[in-house]
Amino acid sequence: MLDIAFAKPAVPKAGALVLLVGEDEAPSGLWQQADLATGGAVARAIAAAAFKGGKGKSVSIPGPGAGLSRIVICGIGKRGDVTERGLEEAGGGIAAQLATETIVAIDAGGMSPAQAASLAMGATLRAYRFDRYRTKEKAEDKPKLAKLTVLADDAAKAKAAYSPLRAVAEGVFLSRDLVSEPPNVLNPAEMADRCKKLTSLGLKVEVLGPKEMAKLGFGALLGVAQGSVNEPRMVVMHWNGAGARKGKQKKLAFVGKGVTFDTGGISIKPAGGMEDMKWDMAGAGTVIGLMAALAGRKAKVDAVGLVGLVENMPSGNAQRPGDVVTSYSGQTIEVINTDAEGRLVLADVLWYCQQKFDPEFMIDLATLTGAIIIGLGDEYAGLFSNNDMLSERLTAAGKETGELLWRMPLSDAYDKQIKSDIADMKNVGGRPGGSITAAQFIQRFVNSKPWAHLDIAGTAWSSKDHPTTPKGATAFGVRLLDRLVAEHYEG
Ligand code: BES
Ligand code: MN
Ligand code: ZN
């Protein structure tokens, strides 16, 4: 992780210096000092580039003198319009632009401690890289940025404000690591082992294997798992930071789809792009990262995270189209398409969660349908919920963190599409409204309890860089749900 430090504003002796400039602002303290130290290089560059501080605009001065490798002047737009997310994006942009520098200092003079911390958070999130399996990369090709100092008026307060954010970033990185891992390495057992490591953060972690799940009657989850030689697992992670309020508030519950590889099973997927299905465990990856974040920042809540971990493979022992399975809830399911496996996994884990914990709410995350990508692309995740208040809170937390949600409908009319002729329901409802019928299916395993389902198939992985997310695994949902908890359930 990027080494972040906070210090009083001063022109550094070496490395790169980033000056943040608001639109149409007069030169501030550090800007003038840097200009003086470099014999007017800053003023000259600003004039030559007709730079006015517009958001996203920047001017770079390589070798400006005074021992500095570079000065970058970044516009942040009108001061009054600057949001927390805008500062994160600015920080992320700086980390990307200056990836070849070793040490960077950002001038956050005139900003609040929280704003300085947001800049640091953005830079931290963008500087992530998964390079475990690169053995031959030359040193000069690797990003060099190792240390970033945020120059803040009250450095101690800014550092304190960054501390919980850093814990959240750790959770984001854990999630990104899990999602990035290749599927031969990260099978269900390995994923459960990585969950167990979270006990070091103070989480209680319980792992159930196929025997325990068979005893409970997890027919839906086990039907998916039966085609693979890699055994399934269910992991229950418990963070209890509620302290004195313990027992006064019900547990918050988060449930994730963890299909470590989805071939489609007997209803096998086409070869092109199938490698993407290594990230079909991203819902579980988010839940695990979230639990690490809550524990890491010692959130004052009682929360459980449950993940259903399976591999969906075709084999002589695999589930067939036409099979009927009995879920843990007792409801029977006709499996028309073995590629609609995520909902089968979630059915048993959600029912278990509800029976065992009677939580305040349940929020599940899943890379559930290709149809949500057709509907919303990769900008918004689909939100399905039986509860308006929970939906509003989630949507607001999404706007604040840049992890956007769009609410989709649920209704009995769609539910009819999953009627079966021989069982209580079938696992697919045809192409029309494919993401909605998937959500209707899941809803059958939720009693009237407040529940939200996030279909993250479009947002869990990115083919291009974003301001605070390099391309690849995004950890979508970790920051959003951490924010939801912080804003509404820790009071
Ligand atoms: N894991 C897939 C959904 C998916 C597709 C995630 C693309 C990420 C990118 C899911 O298990 C699946 O295969 N869904 C099917 C459902 C269909 C058979 C009703 C789909 O969307 O095609
Ligand atoms: Mn599938
Ligand atoms: Zn899947």
At 135-172, the pLDDT tens digits run: 999 988 899 999 999 999 999 999 999 999 999 999 99
What CA–CA distance (Å, rounded) separates 76 from 56? 6
Read off the pLDDT of each residue in 247-252 and give the average, rounded to a whole number.
86
Q: What does the pLDDT read at residue 26?
A: 80
Q: Is 258 in the pocket of ligand 1 (CB under 6 A)?
A: no
Residue 416, class by beta-carbon neighbours within 10 Å (0-12 exposed, 13-18 middle, 19+ buried)? exposed
Confidence of residue 27 (pLDDT cuts 50, 70, 90): confident
- Ligand 3 midpoint to CA 314 (Å): 14
- CB distance 372 to ligand 1 below 6 Å: no
Judge whether residue 243 has pLDDT over 90: no
pLDDT at 485 over 90: yes
Alpha-carbon span 290 to 176, nearest angstrom: 12
**C-alpha distance from residue 303 to each of 10, 46, 116, 132, 455 (Å):** 43, 51, 30, 31, 21
- Interatomic CA distance for residues 353 and 305, integer angstroms: 9
Would you say residue 394 has pLDDT above 90?
A: yes
**Predicted local confidence at residue 358, as pLDDT:** 97
* Complete edge-to-edge strand list for the sheet that includes strand 405-407: 204-208, 233-240, 302-312, 252-262, 361-366, 451-455, 381-385, 405-407
Residue 451: strand pairing partners:
362
Q: Which two tokens stand for residue 208?
A: 């159930």
CB 128 within 8 Å of CB 166: no
- Residue 25: its pLDDT value, please? 83
DSSP assigned state of 59:
E
Q: For residues 452 and 175, give the distance between their C-alpha atoms in angstroms, rounded to a whole number.
A: 20
Which among 481, 462, 467, 459 has a CA at the least distance from the CA of 400? 481
The verdict on the CB of residue 265 being under 6 Å from ligand 1 is: no
Longest alpha-carbon distance in the chain: 83
Is 444 an annotated catalytic residue? no
Mean of pLDDT values over 244-273: 93
Mean pLDDT check: name the lowest of 42-51, 285-294, 414-423. 42-51
Q: Which ligand is nearest to the CA of 429?
A: 1
The Cβ-side half-sphere exposure at 353, using a 13 Å CA radius, reads 36
In this structure, what DSSP letter does residue 318 have? S
Which of the four pLDDT bands, split at 50, 70 and 90, describes residue 440?
Answer: very high
pLDDT at 441: 99
Marked catalytic residue, from 269, 300, 399, 407? 269
pLDDT bracket for residue 248 (50, 70, 90): confident
Q: Which band of pLDDT confidence, cut at 50, 70 and 90, is reported for residue 491?
A: confident
Average pLDDT over residues 411-433: 98
pLDDT 10s digits, 192-237: 999 999 999 999 999 999 999 999 999 999 999 999 999 999 999 9
pLDDT at 139: 86
Q: 128 C-alpha to center of ligand 3: Å?
A: 26
Atom in ligand 1 nearest the alpha carbon of residue 337: 18
- Ligand 1 probe mutation, 224, 261, 276, 280, most atoms within 8 A of CB: 280
Active site residue 269: yes
Q: How far is the CA of 190 from the centre of ligand 1 (A)?
A: 23
Residue 356: pLDDT over 90? yes
Q: Which of 159, 176, 257, 343 is catalytic?
A: 343
From the alpha carbon of 431, which atom of ligand 1 is closest?
A: 19
Q: Where are the beta strands (DSSP E) in 30-81?
A: 58-65, 68-75
pLDDT at 443: 98
Tell how far CA 460 is from the center of its chain: 7
339 lines ligand 1 (CB under 6 A): yes
Cβ–ligand 1 contact at 101 (below 6 Å): no
- Compute, in angstroms, the gap from residue 338 CA to the centroid of ligand 3: 10
- Does residue 370's CB lie within 6 angstroms of at least one atom of ligand 1? yes
For 366, the 3-state DSSP assignment is strand
Tens-digit pLDDT profile for residues 307-326? 999 999 999 999 999 999 99
Q: How far is ligand 2, taken at its centre, from the CA of residue 419, in Å?
A: 20
Task: Determine the average pLDDT of the residues in 476-489.
Answer: 98
Q: For ligand 1, is residue 340 a contact (CB within 6 Å)? A: yes
Ligand 1: centre distance to CA 144 (Å): 38
Instruction: Kindly state if the Cβ of 92 falls inside 6 Å of ligand 1.
Output: no
SS (H, E, C) 377-404: CCCCEEEEECCHHHHHHHHHHHHHHCCC
- Residues in a beta bridge with 361: 252
Which residue, by CA, sits nearest to atom 7 of ligand 1?
A: 370
Neighbour tally for 62: CB within 10 Å? 10
Asked if pLDDT for residue 181 goes beyond 80, the answer is yes
Average pLDDT over residues 89-100: 96
Q: Among 335, 369, 435, name the best residue to mutate to test ligand 1's pocket (greatest count of ligand atoms within 8 A of Cβ).
A: 369
